[in-house]
């Protein structure tokens, strides 16, 4: 399932170069990732009830085009592959002209919340990967 959210670039997200600070793109993607979890029926509290958490272990991001104050951006999230204890989500950010602003692959790992060690993906999460 592919999901997307829309945001408007705020003044606090702009750096001295007059465009969105690179770290903010990671926040945008995190917001979209949380929306993806919610839309798949796996919000934070469901994982907690299973005794499982997800942690980000790697991000490979490409900055393609600058975004500026007031622009409306669409951030999408979709599952692309899974392993035994990890999975990869793809994010894309587009501007109002449908130009790719940034894209990333984010690798997450599922962990046992008490032991703080990796565990196999719960079947509820694994089911969302082809």
Give residue 83's pLDDT.
97
Give residue 71's pLDDT.
98
Whether 45 sits among the annotated catalytic residues: the reply is no
Whole-model pTM: value is 0.94
Give residue 85's pLDDT.
98
**Nearest of 72, 126, 125 to residue 101 by alpha carbon:** 72
Structural domain range at position 109: 3-126
CATH classification of the domain holding 103: 3.10.129.10
Give residue 130's pLDDT.
77
How many folded domains does the chain comprise?
Answer: 1
pLDDT of the chain, 130 residues: tens digit per residue: 999 999 999 999 999 999 999 999 999 999 999 999 999 999 999 999 999 999 999 999 999 999 999 999 999 999 999 999 999 999 999 999 999 999 999 999 999 999 999 999 999 999 999 7
Of 15, 35, 45, 112, the catalytic one is 15
């Amino acid at each position: 399932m592919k999901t997307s959210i829309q945001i408007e670039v705020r003044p606090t997200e702009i750096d001295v170069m007059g465009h969105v600070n690179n770290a903010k793109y990671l926040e945008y993607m995190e917001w979209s990732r949380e929306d993806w979890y919610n839309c798949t029926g796996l919000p934070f509290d469901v994982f907690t009830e299973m005794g499982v958490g997800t942690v980000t272990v790697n991000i490979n991001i490409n900055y393609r085009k600058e975004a500026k104050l007031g622009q409306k951006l669409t951030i999408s999230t979709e599952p692309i592959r899974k392993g035994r204890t990890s999975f990869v989500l793809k994010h894309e950010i587009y501007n109002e002209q449908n130009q790719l602003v940034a894209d990333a692959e984010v690798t997450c790992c599922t962990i046992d919340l008490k032991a703080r060690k990796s565990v196999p993906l719960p079947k509820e999460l694994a089911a969302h990967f082809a």
